[in-house]
Amino acid sequence: MKKLKNIAIVLSLFVLQVQLAQAQQIQARAVLDSTNILIGDQVNLRLELSQPNNLDIEFPAIGDSLSASVEVIAQSPLDTFELDEENQIRIIQNLTITSFDSGQQVVPPFYFRLKYDNLYDSIETLPASFFVHSMPLDTTKGPVDIKKPYGAPVTLKEVTPYILGVILIGALIFFLFYYIQRRRKNKPLFVKPPKPKEPAHVIALRELDRIKDEKLWQTEHLKDYYSMVSDTLRTYIEDRFNIQAMEYTTEETIQAFERQKELLSGKSLEELKSILSLSDLVKFAKYTPLPDDHNLTLMNAYFFVNQTKLEDKKPTPPKDDREGEEVELK
């Protein structure tokens, strides 16, 4: 029985070899792109397998090295190509290899496993070899010093802490200098920005309201009453028209407006002249106006301010309800 079994195996292998010969020979090759490299350089090793497309042949498993001195850097997936011959294909895999040992380096054979009708066989490639050359030494220059390590370029991440530190120190020095200067001048460390100045007519109308509420004419303080009305209008004229009314006499103030007729209408100028002239009589000539003159003077002062105030076009302010209003003094 044992002999019969051996005979059957031999016959099966014979049949397999015959069928393979009929289907065209299976060819396995290991081809190097270069046979001479410098130490550490890389070279491409191409594994090729030509076979009928109805056979199941396994490629060898490739590790990270082919021998003790030949290392595998990378390996590509299998690529399959159809050949011109009928039912014939070619499978290719590329390996990137290198060696750090000088001299002749041998790539051992690769074994491809063949399975056919529950029988197994293997196909191997021929060994391949390449020569690794060491770096040539320039003996003409003689001994040289060992070169210092190359310095890596400085990155922004590395210098950022130093930049921030310099900025912080500079800010502290500036703040300290500023603080000392302010202390020497007896000034506060931080100064609030000045509030925007109110329009001239707002200040004048508020002052006229205050004068009206004080009712000085009822306590026979007529000189103070007319002085305050006159000073309010003169201050308003300085802010509104840039005429030095506080320093000018009444006549000089009126003449300043007459030289610039576009500033006031004739009616407004007459009202101003009437108020200032009457106030001068009360202050300097001890003139005693009639009770109706008190009311008329304050009413004309309101009217003068409202008629000559500088209008803000954007946005248009609401109309002052006191414009043209008769002021009754009680």
For residue 23, the model assigns a pLDDT of 44
Sign of the dihedral defined by the CA atoms of residues 311, 266, 259, 274, in that order: negative
For residues 58-78, give the mean pLDDT.
92
pLDDT at 94 over 90: yes
For residues 64-69, give the mean pLDDT.
91
Q: What would the pLDDT profile of 104-126 be if each residue is shown by its tens digit?
A: 999 999 999 988 777 788 899 99
Lowest mean pLDDT among 33-37, 69-73, 191-195, 274-278: 191-195
Q: How far apart are CA 131 and CA 39, in angstroms?
A: 9
Domain 24-133 belongs in CATH node 2.60.40.740: yes
3-class secondary structure, 259: helix
Residue-averaged pLDDT of the chain: 82
Contacts 24+ apart (CB under 8 A), 205-209: 205/302, 205/305, 205/306, 205/320, 205/322, 207/232, 207/235, 208/232, 208/298, 208/301, 208/302, 208/305
Q: How far apart are CA 186 and CA 200, in angstroms?
A: 33
**Does residue 252 contact residue 192 with C-beta atoms inside 8 Å?**
no
For residue 319, the model assigns a pLDDT of 55
Q: Please name the amino acid found at residue 323.
A: E
pLDDT at 257 over 50: yes
Length of the chain as a residue count:
330
Q: What would the pLDDT profile of 5-16 be if each residue is shown by its tens digit?
A: 555 555 555 555
pLDDT at 199 over 70: yes
For residues 233-251, give the mean pLDDT.
90
Q: How far apart are CA 11 and CA 6, in angstroms?
A: 9
115 vs 321, residue with greater confidence:
115
- In the structure encoding, which two tokens stand for residue 156, read together? 């922004």
- In the structure encoding, which two tokens stand for residue 67, read together? 């021998």
Highest mean pLDDT among 74-83, 146-155, 310-319: 74-83
pLDDT at 314 over 60: no
For residues 64-73, give the mean pLDDT.
92
For residue 112, the model assigns a pLDDT of 93
Q: How far apart are CA 119 and CA 113, in angstroms?
A: 11
329 vs 173, residue with greater confidence:
173
pLDDT at 20 over 80: no
Split at pLDDT 50, 70, 90, the class of 22 is very low
Split at pLDDT 50, 70, 90, the class of 4 is low
Cβ neighbours, 10 Å, residue 320? 15
For residues 41-52, give the mean pLDDT.
92
For residues 155-167, give the mean pLDDT.
88
Q: What percent of the chain has pLDDT over 90?
A: 27
What value, to the nearest 5°, has the Cα angle with vertex 264 and ends 248 and 291? 70
For residue 326, the model assigns a pLDDT of 53
Q: Give the ranges where the chain is alpha helix by DSSP (H).
A: 2-22, 156-184, 200-214, 222-241, 250-259, 266-284, 291-308
Longest C-alpha distance within the chain, in Å? 161
Backbone dihedral angles phi then psi of residue 38, each to the nearest 5 degrees: -80, 155
Q: What percent of the chain has pLDDT over 70?
A: 83
Domain range list for the chain: 24-133, 200-308
For residue 1, how far is the Cα from the chain centroid?
A: 88
pLDDT at 71 over 90: yes
Can you spell out the DSSP letters for 55-85? -EEEPPP--SBSSSS-EEEEEPPPEEEE-SS
